[in-house]
Amino acid sequence: MRFASCLLLLFACAPAEPPPPVPPPDPGGTGLFSSPPENRSSGELRFDVPSEWKKQSPKSAMRRAEYAVPDKDGQEADAEFAVFRFGPQNLDDNLERWYGQVKGSDRSSSPPQTLQVGTLEATWVDLAGMYTDNLGADHEDFRFLAAAIRVPEACYFLKLAGPRGTVGDWTAPFQDVLRSCRLE
């Protein structure tokens, strides 16, 4: 009798439908992108990058995507574009961290800007000077473009950093990348 009661309880608590199937891994091997190269995806956020930007393996598990961004004139080193996704974030805390990474920058000299991205909004900054990367290394005469895009239950950060001239050549295309962002 006890066994029959347990079976009855087990079947009564079981879900009515089986869980949805888990999608297969990306055939490209990254597990992050399921779209063609010209339409990159980072989780729910999709964006388009210039064809000259070369996809790289992310340097850390925190990075959802990473690209080498070439110097158009061949005079300076490449820049780097990286995409991060975290849970809900305090935007002001991130802005302060970004200002802190570029010596001499502050909100009064380089105020954050907003850009409408479809139904989303990007808050971004354009900073230049001595840049201290996330590992603590200092880089002279760098430029740093960083944007935050909030989506339901998460926040994406898109960052382009590198020599001032390299990043300067890609400022308008960086804004185009932001404008191309969409949830799918």
Percent of residues, the chain, with pLDDT higher than 90? 55
Among 183, 134, 143, residue whose Cα is nearest residue 163: 143
Number of domains into which the chain is organized: 1
Give the pLDDT score at 82.
96
Mean pLDDT of 113-130: 91
3-class SS at 7?
A: helix
Residue 89: predicted pLDDT:
81
Q: How does residue 1 score in pLDDT terms, banded at 50, 70 and 90? A: low
pLDDT at 33 over 50: no
At a CB cut-off of 8 Å and minimum separation 6, what does 103 contact? 129, 130, 131, 132
For the segment 35-44, the average pLDDT, to the nearest whole number, is: 42
What residue has token string 């001239």?
A: 165
Note down the domain range covering 169: 2-183
Amino acid at 23: P
Q: Which pLDDT score, from 0 to 100, does residue 134 have?
A: 80
Q: What is the CATH number of the domain that holds 48?
A: 3.40.1000.10
Tens of pLDDT, residues 58-101: 999 999 999 999 999 889 999 999 999 998 888 889 899 999 99
Distance in angstroms (rounded) separating the CA atoms of residues 45 and 149? 9
